[in-house]
Amino acid sequence: MYRSHDCGVLRIEHVGQEVTLSGWLQASRNFGGLTFIDLRDRYGITQLVFNQEERKDLAEQANKLGREFVLRATGIVRERSNKNPNRPTGDVEIDVHTLEVLNASKTPPFTIEDETDGGEELRMKYRYMDIRRNPVKENLIFRSKLSLETRKYLSDNNFIEVETPNLIKSTPEGARDFVVPSRMNEGQFYALPQSPQTFKQILMVAGMDRYFQIVKCFRDEDLRADRQPEFTQIDCEMSFVTRDDILETFEGLTKHLFKTTLNVDLPDFPRMSYDEAMERYGSDKPDLRFDMEFVLLNEHTKGHGFSVFDDAELVVGICVKGKAGSYSNKDIKKLTEWMQRPQIGAKGLVYVKYNADKTIKSSIGKFYTDEQIAGWKYAFGAEDGDIVFILSGEEEKTRKQLNELRLEMARVHDLIKPGDFKPLWVIDFPLLEWDEDSNRFHAMHHPFTAPKQEDEARMLNGDHETMKSLRADAYDLVINGSEIGGGSIRIHDRALQSKNFDLLGFSKEEAEAQFGFLMGAFEFGAPPHGGIAFGFDRLCAVLNGQASIRDFIAFPKNNQGRDMMIDAPSPIAKEQLIELSLDLKLEEKE
Amino acid sequence: MYRSHDCGVLRIEHVGQEVTLSGWLQASRNFGGLTFIDLRDRYGITQLVFNQEERKDLAEQANKLGREFVLRATGIVRERSNKNPNRPTGDVEIDVHTLEVLNASKTPPFTIEDETDGGEELRMKYRYMDIRRNPVKENLIFRSKLSLETRKYLSDNNFIEVETPNLIKSTPEGARDFVVPSRMNEGQFYALPQSPQTFKQILMVAGMDRYFQIVKCFRDEDLRADRQPEFTQIDCEMSFVTRDDILETFEGLTKHLFKTTLNVDLPDFPRMSYDEAMERYGSDKPDLRFDMEFVLLNEHTKGHGFSVFDDAELVVGICVKGKAGSYSNKDIKKLTEWMQRPQIGAKGLVYVKYNADKTIKSSIGKFYTDEQIAGWKYAFGAEDGDIVFILSGEEEKTRKQLNELRLEMARVHDLIKPGDFKPLWVIDFPLLEWDEDSNRFHAMHHPFTAPKQEDEARMLNGDHETMKSLRADAYDLVINGSEIGGGSIRIHDRALQSKNFDLLGFSKEEAEAQFGFLMGAFEFGAPPHGGIAFGFDRLCAVLNGQASIRDFIAFPKNNQGRDMMIDAPSPIAKEQLIELSLDLKLEEKE
């Protein structure tokens, strides 16, 4: 027997019992006559005591043990004279009479503490040491709990979890596929799924009615900071539903998850159209934990001879409450430069300070009278002491730039209350985006998304311009400015699906080769259906108020798509290549 | 609103209510004045009625609908005059006043009935029609329930579900890997996991203590009848445990699953050593639902001048109760030929009939006296009316051949009671198998399996012959002759792991390149640990008394590894190959 109890469970009521514990040496302290060892396992830390006078050999053995040694100790639970109220086991300690080293440890490459001295790369290479640290361990336990609660809720709501295949077919649309050469089908490849989209629709055609899956998906993209080549989705689909059925079900799921993991009661989620979100926040995933709504200034600023505004499609600003005094000329210059970086690309940044002493200071003071500028104050609902920032230019770009500024203001001025959660449904997305470069439409959500019912006829019969105005029956769940998930009502009619592929630039042959099975299925009694997918890694991070998904993934890959611990990917044997009828062509790329 | 109720829920107490149902047209019957439609969804079937006199247009519309049309119907629930006691909704029907065709259907390629006229290939191509059939649908629902109950049980027992990566490193040991070319790491490949073995061990080193995952695994093997290139495991690992801790935990899980899905109470599972299983049943996965234990006949049969037996390493037989009268000479000849097929490879088959009339008839009557043959009766515990079959030859081969005969006798004579479950732990497997062809040892379980503690010193210091006698701390769960899962206590010591790789023919460099990260982890405080994995697809099938796993998988692949519905694998675009620095070399294989 390795243990009678774990290291987190002993309390004052266990005093006098003989117990056996196993775990890792977290820390040891030698006070001459007494040696204390903190023994750690997943469940907690318990103090072991060795008395030099009573058991000399044992105490000397204990003094030689290093950090992260694996120990088994047997002894009697006794009350501590010096209790530790910060530790659940802090009332007791173990007077050890038998000690065994189960395994030794070399000196850890970084400290196994909540705040570690290990850098990102070292932590990933020795991930098995990193996961011993509380923050990472707790994240993984949280993730496990979140997935179980998701499954319980969806199962209680009649959803069936169905595993869809991982070895599927490559479809060049969208992001790049990871492909898998088939040995048994020479020259052919499987692809790893970017999502189970077509399979879950097929399951609806198959009459499964309510499907879900917590499922790995794969995208071979150039990895940005917080992307992973493999990621996890809560993937769902429902039959005989309208949008509101889906929103209610998954609002229910989200509330359940917040309640069962954080004990947070979320209020009903507001809904906002894509157009409204863009107008008020310049983003389709607005962070509602703080205000600073966009204020349209076209009518207030145009026609007064300031050509920058006069020539602009849009003049728009935000008001930062009480911060007029926080911005010196130098600060403004720095912020302007930040806005002018290529990542944001603003041409300039106009400010107006409504100072606490009622004076007004603005970078465009010479183009507008003080009365005119004072007039804008009402548009902003600004008060003395506030500062206003104004951008101008082409409508879409300018809104996006101002969105960046709004987010930066919230960060800089610490406007976000920790533990605050603001969920939002964004609805009524455009169906199609016109892409000038490729001279064709792209699906804003994906090619299976249905237009809103009232737009269906226009979609089937409209001209090119009409297509730009079609609305999709699509929706995103946004929490605290993060897109948690999205979905749509799907097309379930072959003619409409065919028309959509047409608009998206598929030839009849391409559409048939890639999605013929789905269009075929639509001819055998496909029910109306729709669904949603939540990014599970992101959901974990947002619930914990963390920006990065990486520490919610046990073994994440770095920005080059490498697993630093196992050192993958790696070359494979020549024999494997031959079996797969493949040859490396390393020069072709250069 | 598509529906107020589903098609399985309406009862006599709903009579008088107006309801809306949506579903598929299962069948329609036109009796002149009245048309009946059976409307089906996942939850059941409800009868719709259309009265020609009351609503002529509606009834005529209903008469034109074909099988599998998707309908929405609104009407009043009323009591049926002609009740159907075989259907939960059989007391009521819907007097329809509003009917809408939500989608049409072409004539289905096979009948959507429990017994279908569709062959395997057609069913796979139109899997979305096949899943509408009750048996397949119920299998998938069962699977979903089984996975949820697995998760509940393991979570209640402090197991954490951790997702391990799917893009890992290729290790040529064991079965073939599916590999995934990396675009970002030119000329390098990921592999899909054959199991999360090394990762779950790493999680133990990481202090996770109890890990599980229901996880897809991948093996690029030539597919036999009931293998799939991707399959699902319940994968587990525990720290600070001995074998018995693991067996108790997973016996508990298995009992829980039988209880919650089938309401079957399993008794405690017997345990049998590998040696005993081979001796008594000639198999490491004996089916205990029927007897016919092997009876060793060496001492009874040798030394009487019958050279076939005299020269044989082993003479062994089974007794088939009460079947002496069932075997004519022709039957025996047929059975002998069946045993002589290359799949089994027996040289011949000896029989003894202890006839009901007390006469004895045997194919070797001329070599033994009737008294001698009558003497064997006691060894077999045979009675008048029984027939005995005897095989002889090299020990291991002969046992395997007799195992096949034993299973065949159970099939032919229908010795298996439906709904009977006989679980069994097989323990104490050999650690290593000597392979004459490759002139090296193979791991019987896998290279991470620990020897039994008492064999550890012999393993580190013993000679070549000693290695053949080492026992592994490994175990299999067998139910009804199917291997449900297996596992072992793992090596957690670098020196012992290194020795094992050595025995298995790895060079130091190969071991380091492939498993260096694991051996490195063992040096940083690896706890004693062990685990187990259940084949989830197989578990589903065995619980349902079915031989094939295929209909417990939503979208299985055929024996060529093809998905017949989506037609994968398939060629990929030249541009994809270029991006991946790959070239097809289709001629090299020939």
Residues from chain B contacting residue A232 (CB–CB below 8 Å): 163
**A527-557 pLDDT, tens digit each:** 999 999 999 999 999 999 998 999 999 999 9
Number of H helices and number of E strands within chain B?
18, 23
The model's confidence at residue A173, banded by pLDDT at 50, 70 and 90, is low
Tokens of B14: 């709903």
pLDDT of A383 reads 96
The model's confidence at residue A171, banded by pLDDT at 50, 70 and 90, is confident
Ramachandran area for residue A182 (φ above 0: left; ψ -120 to 50: alpha; else beta): beta
Among B147, B559, B570, which would you mutate to test the A interface (most chain A Cβ atoms within 10 Å of its Cβ)?
B570
Higher pLDDT, A435 or A9: A9
Contact A176 B554 (CB under 8 A): no
pLDDT of B588 reads 47
- Closest chain B residue to the Cα of A245, Cα to Cα: B1
Cβ(B500)–Cβ(B515) below 8 Å: no
Contact A166 B203 (CB under 8 A): no
- Closest chain A residue to the Cα of B528, Cα to Cα: A102
> Which one of A102, A517, A563 has the shortest CB-CB distance to B528?
A102
Question: What CATH topology corresponds to B12-103?
Answer: OB fold (Dihydrolipoamide Acetyltransferase, E2P) (2.40.50)
Architecture label for domain B135-267+534-575: 2-Layer Sandwich (3.30)
Beta-carbon contacts of A291 under 8 Å, excluding residues fewer than 6 positions away, are: A321
Tokens of B384: 């008048």
> Which one of B105, B144, B186 has the shortest CB-CB distance to A589?
B186
Cβ(A233)–Cβ(A217) below 8 Å: yes
pLDDT of B118 reads 85
SS3 B143: helix
Is the preceding peptide bond at A569 cis, omega within 30 degrees of 0? yes
The model's confidence at residue B101, banded by pLDDT at 50, 70 and 90, is very high
Place of tokens 């329609």: B28
pLDDT of A227 reads 86
> Which one of B151, B207, B241 has the shortest CB-CB distance to A41?
B207
pLDDT at residue B250 greater than cutoff 60: yes
> Which one of A103, A206, A526 has the shortest CB-CB distance to B103?
A526
**B526-580 pLDDT, tens digit each:** 999 999 999 999 999 999 999 899 999 999 999 899 999 999 999 999 989 999 9
CA distance A214 to B393: 53
Contact A168 B568 (CB under 8 A): yes
* ipTM score of complex: 0.95
For chain B, what is the radius of gyration of the CA atoms? 30
Contact B182 A522 (CB under 8 A): no
Tokens of B228: 């799939």
Cβ(B502)–Cβ(B489) below 8 Å: no
Residues from chain A contacting residue B38 (CB–CB below 8 Å): none
Shortest alpha-carbon distance between residue A484 and chain B (Å): 19
Contact B522 A151 (CB under 8 A): no
Cβ(B456)–Cβ(B496) below 8 Å: yes
The model's confidence at residue A512, banded by pLDDT at 50, 70 and 90, is very high
Cβ(A133)–Cβ(A549) below 8 Å: no
> Which one of A148, A178, A581 has the shortest CB-CB distance to B586?
A581
Contact A553 B163 (CB under 8 A): yes
> Which one of A186, A203, A576 has the shortest CB-CB distance to B179?
A576
pLDDT of A492 reads 97
Cβ(A349)–Cβ(A319) below 8 Å: no
**B193-217 pLDDT, tens digit each:** 999 999 999 999 999 999 999 999 9
| Size of the A and B interface in Cβ pairs below 8 Å | 374
SS3 A441: strand
Start-end of H helices in B416-455: none
Question: What CATH topology corresponds to B290-412?
Answer: Gyrase A; domain 2 (3.30.1360)
Contact B190 A569 (CB under 8 A): yes
Residues from chain A contacting residue B576 (CB–CB below 8 Å): 170, 172, 176-177, 179
The model's confidence at residue A587, banded by pLDDT at 50, 70 and 90, is low
Q: Average pLDDT for residues A166-173, to the nearest whole number?
A: 87
Which residue, among A377, A402, A394, has the nearest Cα to A308 in the 3D structure?
A394
CA distance A248 to A532: 12
Residues from chain A contacting residue B525 (CB–CB below 8 Å): 24, 68-70, 103-105
In angstroms, how far is the first alpha carbon of chain A from the final one?
61
SS3 A340: helix
Residue A107 is given by DSSP the state P
Among B128, B157, B249, which would you mutate to test the A interface (most chain A Cβ atoms within 10 Å of its Cβ)?
B128
CA distance B534 to B539: 7
CA distance A424 to A289: 11
Average pLDDT, chain A: 95
Residues from chain B contacting residue A140 (CB–CB below 8 Å): 160, 162, 208
Contact B568 A191 (CB under 8 A): yes
pTM, rounded to two decimals: 0.95
In angstroms, how far is the first alpha carbon of chain B from the final one?
61
Half-sphere exposure of B310 (CA within 13 A, CB side): 7
Strand order in the sheet with A360-362: A295-296, A314-320, A386-393, A350-354, A360-362
pLDDT of B436 reads 85
- The answer to whether the A12-103 and A135-267+534-575 domains have the same CATH topology is no
Average pLDDT, chain B: 95
**B293-318 pLDDT, tens digit each:** 999 999 999 999 999 999 999 999 99
Beta-carbon contacts of B30 under 8 Å, excluding residues fewer than 6 positions away, are: B63
Tokens of A555: 């073994």
Which helix (H) or strand (E) segment holds residue B217: the answer is strand B210-218
Among B550, B572, B574, B575, which would you mutate to test the A interface (most chain A Cβ atoms within 10 Å of its Cβ)?
B572
Q: Average pLDDT for residues B262-271, to the nearest whole number?
A: 97
Is the preceding peptide bond at B135 cis, omega within 30 degrees of 0? no
Percentage of chain B beyond pLDDT 70 is: 99
> Which one of B130, B210, B572 has the shortest CB-CB distance to A179?
B572
Tokens of B130: 């096949």
**B473-524 pLDDT, tens digit each:** 999 999 999 999 999 999 999 999 999 999 999 999 999 999 999 999 999 9
Cβ(B581)–Cβ(B187) below 8 Å: yes
Residues from chain B contacting residue A100 (CB–CB below 8 Å): none
Cβ(A363)–Cβ(A332) below 8 Å: yes
Cβ(B169)–Cβ(A568) below 8 Å: yes
Q: How far out from the chain centre does Cα A269 lie?
A: 19
Long-range contacts: A510-514, Cβ < 8 Å, 24+?
A514/A169, A514/A171, A514/A173
Which residue, among B191, B228, B376, has the nearest Cα to A180 in the 3D structure?
B191
Contact B160 A176 (CB under 8 A): no
Residue A453 is given by DSSP the state G
Q: Classify strands A386-393 and A230-239 as parallel, antiparallel or unpaired.
A: unpaired
SS3 B409: helix
Q: How far out from the chain centre does Cα A530 lie?
A: 23
> Which one of A22, A161, A525 has the shortest CB-CB distance to B240?
A22
pLDDT at residue A250 greater than cutoff 60: yes
Q: How far out from the chain centre does Cα B386 lie?
A: 33
Start-end of H helices in A64-160: 120-125, 127-130, 134-156
Contact A128 B202 (CB under 8 A): yes
User: How do the domains of chain B map onto residue ranges?
Assistant: 12-103, 135-267+534-575, 290-412, 423-528
